[in-house]
Amino acid sequence: MQSKKRLICVKLESTYGTDATPTGAQAIQVRDLSITPLENDALDRQIVRPYLGGSDKIISGSRVKIEVEVELTGSGAAGTAPNVDALLRACGMAVVTTAGVSVVYTPISGGFESATMYYNQDGLLHKVTGGRGTWALALKAKALPTLKFSMTGLYNPVVDAAMLASTFSAVQVPLPVGSATTVSLHGYAGRMDALNINLGASAVYRELVGYRGVEISDRAVEGDISIEMPPIAAKDWFSAALNTNVGTLAVTHGITAGNIVQVDGPRVSVNSPAYEESDGVVMLKMGLSLTPLAGNDDVKLTFR
């Protein structure tokens, strides 16, 4: 068996946790992929015996965890969903598509979709049903922008199978974070070195009498940003942190239609400002808290 021949395909489930075949699944172009093919709880029988020794353990709560990192790009055509559409929706994001214009993802608080994920490792097909999770976005100057998904789903028996078909011709080449990126926080367009945003969705495995599945039970969108330290006259970030001032976050990455991604937060506060250094220049790193304004609008991803 050869090593590290891997492929992941994903599709949304029409009925929660019941998708059975790879038909119609979208192959995901990834940078990094990590899988825990079987995670479970071991229940110790704790039998009383007249001699030393461990007890048998009964396996319960079988699930699978997948972490996958992808390049943050568009689909190549404005109004066409990106390669990671199914994963975003399985993280508790609703989608609104405007033909020829944009695809917009915003968080929801109920009616969550789930996904079946097919992971092929050297001809061993792992099928993960009822998958849900969270995502984290990373923008770093002079690096490629990424989205990292952390997913949990239900274990299904592993089978021998040929590698799934993959077509990535529509996936766009990523642009380095820099001249193709603009950022505004609280109306201040600073010189940004790094931005990280975590959806903070809590996807928990639950097993009860009559039910087994993964549920999204909470969400707290947080992150951090590192910008070049401005004069106080230009922007007093210390005062903003002390007074829990809120303002907007607006980030645009990309130049050409079909490969432009926007990140927006309508109500963002900063916290714990701390000095850093980059290339001998003083930077300010601050935590970010992205909270809802009208509800289910903590953060918005727009592909256009």
Tens digits of residue pLDDT in 237-246: 999 999 999 9
**Whether residue 265 has pLDDT greater than 60:** yes
CB 272 within 8 A of CB 293: no
pLDDT at 297 > cutoff 50: yes
169/285: higher pLDDT: 285
**Predicted local distance difference test score (pLDDT) of residue 224:** 98
Over the stretch 164-219, which tens digit does the pLDDT of each residue have?
A: 778 787 789 999 999 999 999 999 999 999 999 999 999 999 999 999 999 999 99
| pLDDT top residue among 27 and 129 | 129
Count of CB atoms situated within 10 Å of the CB of 12: 18
pLDDT digits (tens, 9 = 90+) for 91-104: 999 999 999 999 99
C-alpha atoms less than 13 angstroms from C-alpha of 165 in its C-beta half-sphere: 6
How far is Cα 41 from Cα 206, in angstroms, rounded to an integer?
Answer: 12
- pLDDT score of 20: 66
Q: Determine the pLDDT at residue 80.
A: 95
Domain boundaries, the chain: 6-39+58-303
Task: Tell me the mean pLDDT in the region 134-160.
Answer: 97
Mean pLDDT value across residues 108-120: 96
- When pLDDT is averaged across residues 151-176 and rounded to a whole number, the result is 89
Nearest-angstrom CA–CA distance, 150 and 148: 7
Q: What is the pLDDT of residues 38-83, one digit of tens each?
A: 999 999 999 999 999 998 999 899 999 999 999 999 999 999 999 9
